């Protein structure tokens, strides 16, 4: 069994520990991710099974309708503003964390670029990664 994925916000008011391996790791170039990250994409690890997630601290939440038309809830630290995790109304068993919130961001190994149709030429991502115009059917973040 691999070691747990741990992380949290910049001020450590919110912490998480997740047992198990991510089901999907991606860069997302949708407009919401661009605006939230302040760059050309967001980077995420999505886990199946909420029971493997331990959370400490109280996050603030903001619901957004994604490019898919589904509601996703962004959770961030009310003290420092760091984005930490996302949940999805249509897929309540999924738990997604921002790659930069990991204690060891080097564990993030992107598998694909999603919503590449919204990407910008200046957002130079690894050209070897599969690029999808939207979310691929088997992926859920």
For the chain, counts of helices (H) and of strands (E): 1, 10
9: containing domain: 5-22+44-108
Question: What is the average per-residue pLDDT within 4-24?
Answer: 97
pLDDT in tens, 81-134: 999 999 999 999 999 999 999 999 999 999 999 999 999 999 999 999 999 998
pLDDT given for residue 134 in this prediction: 87
**pLDDT confidence bin for 70, thresholds 50/70/90:** confident
Distances from the Cα of 10 to the Cα of 38, 44, 66, angstroms? 16, 17, 25
Q: Is residue 96 part of a domain?
A: yes
pLDDT given for residue 140 in this prediction: 42
Task: Residue 9: give its domain's CATH number.
Answer: 2.170.150.70
pLDDT given for residue 1 in this prediction: 56
The C-alpha atoms of residue 11 and residue 28 are separated, in whole angstroms, by 25
Q: Is residue 137 part of a domain?
A: no
pLDDT given for residue 141 in this prediction: 42
> Which one, of 6, 7, 8, 28, lies nearest residue 76 by Cα?
8
């Amino acid at each position: 069994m691999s070691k747990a994925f741990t992380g949290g916000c910049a001020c450590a008011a919110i912490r998480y520990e997740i047992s198990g391996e991510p089901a999907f790791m991606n860069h997302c170039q949708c407009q919401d991710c661009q605006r939230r990250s302040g760059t050309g994409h967001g980077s995420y690890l999505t886990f199946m099974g909420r029971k493997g997630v331990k959370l400490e601290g109280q996050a603030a939440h903001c619901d957004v309708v994604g490019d898919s038309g589904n509601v996703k809830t962004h959770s961030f630290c009310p003290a420092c503003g760091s984005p930490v995790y996302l949940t999805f109304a249509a897929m309540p068993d999924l738990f997604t964390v921002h790659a930069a919130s990991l204690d060891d961001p080097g564990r993030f190994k992107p598998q694909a670029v999603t919503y590449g149709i919204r990407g910008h030429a200046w957002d130079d991502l690894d050209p070897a990664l599969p690029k999808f115009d939207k979310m691929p059917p088997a992926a859920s973040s």
